[in-house]
Amino acid sequence: MRFVTVVPRSLAFSLLRPALLLALVLGPASCGHPATEVECQTIVERIVELELQAQRVTDPAEINKRRSESLGLAGDANRSDVLQGCIGRHITDGALACVRRAESAQEITDRCLR
């Protein structure tokens, strides 16, 4: 006869919890890099593009106007702050890939940049 030791699921999780927390804390620190201005522009432009698609805006002049506003190119200081707040923040290649393939602006903020 073989005896099998069974560890209750709650006990197994409590034993693994410190390792999981350590991985979550050290994981982001061990990979990725500070976001560059170009990467932040990519993120902002993709969000604007997806928001305009959702609003069914197709006029090229309106698209360019909103893109400029979002990047602070039209003198809109608040939008420029958004871009400046992004530069230097931790980002991974996986997050950038997620931004590029996202199908909605909300997906970017809720999934890619979390």
Burial of 18 (0-12, 13-18, 19+ CB in 10 A): exposed
pTM, rounded to two decimals: 0.65
23-27, 71-75, 91-95: least confidently modelled range: 23-27
For the residues 57-79, what does the mean pLDDT come to?
A: 75
In the chain, alpha helices (H): 9-30, 37-54, 60-71, 77-86, 93-101, 105-107
pLDDT, tens digit (0-9, with 9 covering 90-100), for 93-111: 999 999 999 999 999 999 9
Nearest of 9, 73, 12, 15 to residue 44 by alpha carbon:
73
Burial 97-108 (b: 16+ CB within 10 A, else e): ebbeebeebebb
Confidence of residue 91 (pLDDT cuts 50, 70, 90): very high
For the residues 2-6, what does the mean pLDDT come to?
A: 50
